[in-house]
Amino acid sequence: MGLTRSEEGDEQEERFDIYDEAETWIGTAARSTVHAMGYWHRSFHCWLIRQDGGRKLVLFQQRSANKDTFPLHYDITAAGHLAAGETMQDASREVEEELGVGVQYESLLPLGEARHEAVGTAKGVPFIDREISSVHGFVYEGTLSALQLQAEEVAGVYEADLDDMIALFENRLAYVTASGMEYGSGGRLQETERIVYASDFVTRPASYYAGVFRALLNHIVS
């Protein structure tokens, strides 16, 4: 049975479709309620990859400090929840909103579906995050400096060799070195270099990251 608006909280808050364990739609709920109660909901993942000479690179973002889950963790290049009534085709807008890269849904590389459960605390508020995610890739032909980051969502974007990132999540490397663009103290984007550990990423099974990176590598083999 669907939930009423009064049960779901503030009508002005973003709302998600929610699902049971069998992925059957059971109604809608406000974003804060979804994360407080641990309702299953849908999300869109898009990993950008590019070539630079002979290097095969994957891009990843650092989440804004204002995010309600996993603030300042490294994460998928562009991702977002589906609002109530949205389709995955609608959700592909996240790439342009977060990174300034316009893409057509038909140009995305389908990489499958992933289910993710995590618990934690953000700004003192506990959350339970249960997502059913459609995972995609996109071959990006620009540079990091050409990206236009949405400051409210993204603190920075970085890139590292795909082979190194696979080794990182298969526990064959302790860390990787990534180059990137991030917002400095003056609010301007600046070039940077980071030492990146697997534990710095949003908590997901290592097999998710390694599996996605291996699938992406197959799409840019020279």
Query: Contact at 8 Å (CB) between 135 and 45?
Result: yes
Please give the model's pTM, rounded to 2 decimal places.
Answer: 0.88
Which DSSP state fits 82?
P
Query: Contact at 8 Å (CB) between 137 and 57?
Result: no
Q: Give a yes or no: residue 43 inside a domain.
A: yes
Q: Any idea what the CATH number is for the domain that residue 116 is in?
A: 3.90.79.10
Question: What mean pLDDT do residues 110-128 have?
Answer: 88
Domain hosting 74: range is 5-217
Q: What is the mean pLDDT of the chain?
A: 90
Q: How many domains does the chain have?
A: 1
Q: Give a yes or no: residue 85 inside a domain.
A: yes
CA distances (Å), origin 169, targets 24, 86, 104, 110, 152? 32, 32, 30, 21, 28
Q: Give a yes or no: residue 36 inside a domain.
A: yes
User: What is the tens place of the pLDDT at every residue in 140-196?
Assistant: 999 999 999 999 999 999 999 999 999 999 999 999 999 999 998 788 889 999 999
